[in-house]
Structure 1
């Protein structure tokens, strides 16, 4: 493997393996245009690997060595596997050796959601779609791009109501810019009103009101009268790509956070830890605060862990002792240094593309990383000679929050926030490094494979 030196930083060249992983990531993203599709894609990977679906509404049977998954709202997934050597007996300083090692990510991304009454009739027979922002996207990046549609449709089937996924890959809408001749200021910094400027054009006369419902009915395979409701989002179908003269970059939509969701899933599936209960979770609704029934702040993770504990014949006391010995890794992408704006970053705690997984920390606790979790994670990576980076916001620029501390509201354990470095977060088309996904998988696999048992915040055993 060739090594390059650039400004004192040792860089590894991109390998065929890195590119194969990047191409697989892009295929994963293509199959996941909405959070509902993401959950379906994740579930397909798990079931192909032998994981058994346990519906929340059914009785659960969980055994040593078993592999399982459950789903909430068809948009959040949790999977777990019980180690073959699982034993509830005491063997470490009076604490339970039984514990969880958990990685969580999210499967939603910023987009525009179509409203219940979807059509806006305008001047000269124009028809636009009535949408509102889901999450905090960079609005102007969505302009002048042919757009499709994806999500779920609830339909009447006899005496039942069924949920059906649809993906319209045809270009059926576009949000046109206002010409610079009509607004000279718009050339540099368009001031967009989401209720005025960001309603996508649907037709200029060929379609009339009611056409939207007819279209999604056809996609769902039912008569329009049987379409009851929908959760549908605009989708850019440009498609991801690997680029750069040395194939250094990967660009696609939804890298935040499908890149981390993919890396954590691949690590989970490849891991082999006989001594713990390994858990993978992909949550919905992170981009709008996570405080939904299927979000990271919901009871979904706690409900699942409690039911695992009960199905294994363990007590409530066993469960609480297990949590005290457990660790969670929250995986959500990080801001790589922007070449045009280094002044927006902390002078020392910054990360770069193709530099390894990023440990994120904030004094105001928007990230759950602390000295304990950081020491454990860094020790695991150092033992395998895996690269890692650190990120903190400039001290005068508070950043956003993510999954770690929100999950801990319901099920408290030691946790760390990590991510993969990227540029243009929340753009319709984001950029990462072509080595970053493979490096992320390696780091998270090291976490899953290490047997970590935490005794309070005083002693941590890693084997």
Structure 2
């Protein structure tokens, strides 16, 4: 990597040293990177966590569906809780991975059909006069993308993927393929204060926390950047925040540094995590949907999320620590809590705590249209998060 990080394999013995920089992936979709301090006598971990996935549609194994020999649709199923209406009438394509058999070995290859390939057409209002009064979208009927016309024959999709990968169709043994939105990002507003693009939740936090991590350094800690897959479907996979991935990496770091088991548990007890996942900004058309005192706005700073039912990890201790870090860094904070009569969402912080328990706070960046195919956030907030995460990794925190 350009930043000097060395890749480690989970299936191999780790050789690491103080001052070293390393990263490890699981499933090709989750990553943990860590930077080891030079002076690890009594040490701790400082961790940032985000997630890499967003709501979309996954192609089923037998994906092509013919309609009266005139159309070919792709058979999909929903991944995560998306806003279905936002996926209609916009250019989409397919990306993911394929497993290819080569010389008696299975090799994973990334796939991206880099063109406007499919589209989910709306039904005309003349055929559904009540659609603007509320409509329950059926994912098996309403949400299937159109792939081609009468000239499109069964097998065309696999042929296209094989051509993209420059392999024989018979060599493709498995796939994980998803729809993605092809609309380009844009900066807009009276003063160009907003950005809109797909997957701001949670790639905005993943990107900004990574940038802050790369600038941070502390000789007495192991700085850790973690980005997990499958948060949108519960984090319960081998590569999710609920898996042993974070525990496995932190524990193996301790062992590879020649530390004892007791050192590991002492380090974790002294550690701190920033769980970074975006938050709901006040909607200009529906300000009543948020708590009137604990609500947040784009371009006004990082959001600290709290919940009495413990859906978020934030508490008085972690808020106090993070508030001081941001004060010294000159980063503004906002505070979010759900209306007491409305159920809110959850995130990966508490799920990760089931495997590795440490002091933690849930933070994020304010945005509109969460889980839309095209989301909106504030330009300034990206800079705030990078600055705060850098300050976090440079700070001396002993719990």
TM-score normalised by structure 1 residue count: 0.85
Structure 2 alignment gaps of length 5 or more: none
Aligned with residue 344 of structure 1, among 256, 277, 289: 289
Q: Determine the structure 1 residue equivalent to 2:38.
A: 84
Greater shift, 130-139 or 378-387, is seen at 378-387
**Partner Cα separation in structure 2 for residue 208 and residue 214 of structure 1:** 10
**CA deviation map 1:281-313 (0-9, x unaligned):** 010000100000000000000000000000011
**Partner Cα separation in structure 2 for residue 319 and residue 209 of structure 1:** 55
Whether the 8 Å CA contact 2:315–2:361 is kept in 1: the answer is yes
Q: Determine the structure 2 residue equivalent to 1:64.
A: 18
Aligned with residue 280 of structure 1, among 225, 242, 246: 225
Q: Determine the structure 2 residue equivalent to 1:43.
A: none
**Partner Cα separation in structure 1 for residue 344 and residue 351 of structure 2:** 15
1:37-436 alignment runs, 5 A limit: 47-87=1-41, 97-436=42-381
Whether the 8 Å CA contact 2:329–2:387 is kept in 1: the answer is no
**Partner Cα separation in structure 2 for residue 159 and residue 326 of structure 1:** 45
**CA deviation map 1:199-252 (0-9, x unaligned):** 101112111111111111111211111111100100111111111231100000
Greater shift, 179-188 or 50-59, is seen at 179-188
Distance apart, 1:106 and its partner CA: 0.5
Distance apart, 1:365 and its partner CA: 0.7
Distance apart, 1:319 and its partner CA: 0.5
**Partner Cα separation in structure 1 for residue 379 and residue 133 of structure 2:** 31
**Partner Cα separation in structure 2 for residue 120 and residue 295 of structure 1:** 32
Whether the 8 Å CA contact 2:98–2:109 is kept in 1: the answer is yes
**Partner Cα separation in structure 2 for residue 98 and residue 84 of structure 1:** 11
**CA deviation map 1:137-169 (0-9, x unaligned):** 000100011211110011111211111001112
Distance apart, 1:85 and its partner CA: 2.1
**Partner Cα separation in structure 1 for residue 314 and residue 328 of structure 2:** 20
**Partner Cα separation in structure 1 for residue 69 and residue 356 of structure 2:** 56
**Partner Cα separation in structure 2 for residue 200 and residue 188 of structure 1:** 24
Distance apart, 1:188 and its partner CA: 4.7
Distance apart, 1:124 and its partner CA: 4.4
**CA deviation map 1:413-436 (0-9, x unaligned):** 011000011000000000000111
CA RMSD of aligned residues (A): 0.9
**CA deviation map 1:441-462 (0-9, x unaligned):** 11111111111010xxxxxxxx
**Partner Cα separation in structure 1 for residue 214 and residue 280 of structure 2:** 27
Distance apart, 1:327 and its partner CA: 0.4
Distance apart, 1:383 and its partner CA: 2.2
Whether the 8 Å CA contact 1:140–1:190 is kept in 2: the answer is no
Distance apart, 1:70 and its partner CA: 0.5
**Partner Cα separation in structure 2 for residue 403 and residue 414 of structure 1:** 14
SS at match of 2:313: coil
Q: Determine the structure 2 residue equivalent to 1:13.
A: none
**CA deviation map 1:264-286 (0-9, x unaligned):** 10000011211211000010000
Distance apart, 1:187 and its partner CA: 3.5
Structure 1 alignment gaps of length 5 or more: 1-46, 88-96, 455-463
**Partner Cα separation in structure 1 for residue 68 and residue 319 of structure 2:** 58
- Number of equivalenced pairs: 399
Whether the 8 Å CA contact 1:381–1:443 is kept in 2: the answer is yes
TM-score normalised by structure 2 residue count: 0.99
Distance apart, 1:349 and its partner CA: 0.5
